[in-house]
């Protein structure tokens, strides 16, 4: 008999499962008395008197923009995207452009003499 057969024997566990279903768990009277006593003590104590934490939030434009964008995770993602865009924009791989497209590119650092079109500039 292979392990994928659907008609496998339960090994006599049905008797134990039926016995467990027949006996509903009932808490002991001692446990119930302790729970009710704790509940009454909590109700009589009233609301908590601990002072609420108050955090000062800066009201500047940068702080409002920071909160509007979603905090540090969003700001980290924006900074990463900005740096990646600058990097790709300044170090364009030769495989992405042909000689016709290279004529339209503007060299932001002419002293570095980029060799985008395969010639000497």
pLDDT digits (tens, 9 = 90+) for 24-79: 788 999 999 999 999 998 888 777 666 667 776 677 888 888 888 888 899 899 99
Q: Is residue 82 a part of any domain in this protein?
A: yes
Q: Is residue 96 a part of any domain in this protein?
A: yes
> In terms of domains, do 86 and 103 share one?
no
- CA distances to 28, 67, 71, 95, 102 from 99, in Å: 86, 46, 43, 11, 5
Can you read off the two tokens belonging to residue 44?
């009589």
> In terms of domains, do 86 and 97 share one?
no
pTM of the model: 0.32
Q: Which residue has the higher pLDDT, 40 or 101?
A: 40
Q: How many domains does the chain have?
A: 2
Range of the domain at 111: 92-121
What pLDDT is recorded for position 35?
A: 94
> In terms of domains, do 99 and 117 share one?
yes
């Amino acid at each position: 008999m292979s392990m994928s057969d659907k008609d496998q024997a339960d090994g006599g566990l049905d008797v134990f499962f039926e016995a467990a279903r027949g006996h509903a768990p009932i808490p002991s009277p001692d446990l119930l008395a302790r729970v009710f006593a704790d509940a009454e003590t909590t109700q009589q104590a009233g609301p908590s008197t601990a002072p609420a934490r108050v955090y000062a939030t800066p009201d500047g434009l940068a702080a409002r923009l920071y909160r509007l964008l979603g905090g540090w995770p969003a700001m980290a993602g924006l900074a990463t995207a900005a740096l990646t865009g600058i990097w790709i924009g300044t170090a364009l791989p030769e495989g992405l452009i042909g000689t016709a497209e290279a004529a339209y590119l503007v060299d932001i650092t002419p002293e570095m003499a980029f060799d985008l079109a395969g010639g000497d500039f």
